[in-house]
Amino acid sequence: MSDVTVSIDLNATPAEVWAIVEPVERHVDWMADAVAIRFETEQTRGVGTRFLCDTKVGPIKLVDQMEVTEWAAASATQDGKMGVKHTGIVTGSGVFTLEPLAGGQRTKFTWSENLDFPWYLGGRLGEIIGGRFVLGFIWKRNLKALEQLVDAR
């Protein structure tokens, strides 16, 4: 299993950051590896929401099947959380955590994933190289794009 965690401190309240990350369909605005998101459920928010994410990392394209497993809106005094279970080609779990900083005026945004790659994506070696290094690099860049959206609000 590949464990990848990246984080960034943002100059916005947790509620302001939550307003940007809460619409799952808008993740394509700041995730370079997310090409398109299609919902499998009528609901598009909260626990139980299922969706497909067309994902592209270099020459590798796949459809990531996900289900929301945790959902808690962020506030100045309470952490926000959005957790998912990956059930497609790549399996595992991931979570976004929004933690109030500076008395709730800033936000620490942390993205953690635990992923299992199938043998044809390199298995354990793919998890180490593709997960920790490649995805870690891409997700750090994604957080910079998120920061730009937050700063532009």
What mean pLDDT do residues 41-48 have?
98
Q: Give residue for tokens 């996900």.
A: 66
Helix or strand (DSSP H, E) at 6: strand 2-10
pLDDT tens profile 77-111: 889 999 999 998 889 999 999 999 999 999 999 99
Relative to beta strand 2-10, strand 80-87 is: unpaired
The predicted structure's pLDDT at residue 127: 65
Eight-state DSSP code of residue 105: T
Instruction: List pLDDT tens digits, range 118-149.
Output: 877 777 766 666 667 788 899 999 999 999 99
